[in-house]
Structure 1
Amino acid sequence: MYLRSCMVLLCLGHFNNVPTMMLINAADNSESTGFVGESSKSGSNYPDDEELHVGTSTSDEVGYFNPVEPVWQFDTCRQFNLELYRYFQFNQVVKVLNTPSRWVEVTADVNCLYRALSLWMTGTEEYHPTLRQLILHKVKNDKRIKFMLGQKNYDAHLEWTEKHFWATEVEIAAATLLLNTSIYLYSHRKGSWGLFNQNQTSKDSPTQADKCIYLQHTTGIHYNLVTDVLSDQGSAMQNALPIERRQPEFFYPVDEEWQYDKCLKWLLSLAKPFRFIQYPVYLNAPTKIVEMARDRNSFFRALSYCLAGTEIHHRMIRNRVAKEIFTNIAIKKLYKENEFISCSVENNWATKIEIIASAVVLNTSIFVYSPHTQKWDLYNKNVIDNAPVDTSIEKCIYLRQLNPNLYDVVQDVVGSFKP
């Protein structure tokens, strides 16, 4: 299927000798966004004596829905020193870019664009002030933005940002440069997608392999995340939040039988069998903790303790996890080549990729509790098909993470009563 959509041709660095910006106004109303349309004489805040050159393009190229994934989230959060609250998990099949079918409602205020980008990056809207600061810094300091607008329009826009809080197409363009990721924006009024292209070396649209961010512009100045689009066959419209687990989760830890099975498989002796309650309880805050030795091996020490009741097998577990990372094709899709090679070296702490790989190696999903967010994150053992985990019947490992490298074993939670 070919999409006939208006593309925002923001190919920075590709203008010849004329400081023009080829940009289609992808928002529904240029005045509502504070961004000038085809003429600066139409009531904008920009000077009348220098216009932005806006060109409209109807493209028969195929656009693709291929959203950013956990590795992108991990890398981006690490780059900007942000905490990754939740991974986005998508169907890995790339689709033709059609009408949105699933989206995430973002808090409706003047920060909604920054909230949407924060949600894409970290799984929470919490970092919208940080994203605003980073993007405005890019607008003010990146020479490509000044070249794109021209000096007078650039100065006028900087003055405009001092008086207004909502984002314009200029800020979206700056976001593509900041995140090195193209952004597709769907206009409800026009029923089409606009492209803010971060590619500075080519005027080509993103390919089927390129990961992008997808937003929808609804009314006024409001933006939401788009997390799925209609297939060629079509489907019912719905509003969904895929990063939230809708069913209640349960505390149902691995037990003595699980330990014996794993120790037998790995030729280990069981030093301390676990004897827990024999039924699942609601997953609340931890109450009983077994602290691990405070070194950079604490995650693997915690796994060793769950496995055999002792921390001494942490090196062996680390090596098995490292081997899984480098040989499991599904896991390799989550990271760049050689990015996590430090996993096999003692005294380097575990990352989220190691936690996922550990869940695969043990064939047991892992919950990690953060006292900072007071939330549990689930690392699914089903990395290939991402099949949901029914924690009311499947035993899991439960850990507490005090900081990036301090993990302890959780043995009980608040309100241990049968649901």
Structure 2
Amino acid sequence: MASNLHDKVIENNEEVRKIIALYIRLFDNYQEAAEKIGVSRDTIARYTAHRSNISLASFDRIVKVVQKHYTEAEILQWLDGITIEEIRKQAKRKNGVQMDHVMYVITPAIRALLREYTACFPNKATAARKLEINPRTFKAYLDGQIKSFPRNAFWKVVVHLTNSGFTTEQFFSRFGATAWEDLLIEKERCVILQSNKKELIEELIGLFRKGTIRQKEIDRSIRNAAKRIFGNLGEAMRMTMAQLEKRQIKEIRSYLSVKDFEKAMEKLAELDRYIALYRENEKAIWRASPKEKRRDWQEDVERYIHRRNLMEKEIKEQIERKHQALCAQIERFTGTEATPDPAMLRSYSLDNSYDKGDIIEHPAYGMGKVLRLIGARKMVVQFEKKYGRKILLMNNRSPRPEFWSVGVENAHL
């Protein structure tokens, strides 16, 4: 869906210009207006000056902001009765073909080729406009600030150089190649996420789980989406960590509800890792944020650690309560106080063998005591009053019924 939005444009006609005018009024300058929808200042300036069509994705983001500040009636009156949906229906496929989302990694060979291309023009700006690329963006390609170059623009460069007498064989020999395939490394272009807040947080949670939340490790599309939705990446990370902590605690409580303490401790260890990751990286992330938008991230960490410690305390309390209940059960079965351990409390399995007096834990009937063995493959087990006595199989060698209820007639066993 996101790619469809980016592949379509709307003609910058009178109705679109009116919407853009309403949008620009909400900001003090182009920079703020551009940051709000995740585009460059030059792009918003072109929209305002009516020098370019507008992508459907950008138009939708502009409309979303406008609708938050103006009523539907006000917008309809401003557009002389034309609805937003009618304007959206004017969107067409960009250049009549689907946008190429493949990029080539800018290796030393590719950068050398771009410099050869630039030398054919009076200046970099002219070279950039020939490729329909923003001059500032083109300069960033040459300076290494952007790590990949659009595939369609690359082949335009090759065509222009070839028409200018450029010899590919000589160029290949400089870099030990015999064909373009030896020099080109494809990379998918990352479309700016058209996600809402929930979808973006899911993307960032995935980065937390991978352990890659440093700014340089985060894809540019995600950074752009974070800037558009939250204002900056630091704020996005703060909201993500808050959601991740709630999710981890919810999962821990779900495991506690079924007495799965091992899984609960695993989730607690995961939470420890996320807090440590957040603590180690948040300072660097906030340093890159404007001073007026920075928060005291250490307070967040202290709050997470406090709630984490409370959760650990709750787990240990439940483990202790289970331990005490286990002691009480064993005391009822053995008649003496005892500390439960693996040798005393054994899990029931058809394949295991047991002796008289063993205390077993059955998955369906709970704790029971082996009263007597019947041959080599059966045993009489006394469970709590709810289940009474059962004859269970052991040393299983072939599929058979697991147990028989022991009635009054078998009470002598």
TM bin, normalised by shorter chain, reads under 0.3
Output the TM-score relative to the length of structure 2.
0.20
Structure with the larger RCO, 1 or 2 (CA within 8 Å, 6+ apart): 1
Say which structure is richer in helix. Answer: 2
Q: Which has the larger radius of gyration?
A: 2
Bigger strand share: 1
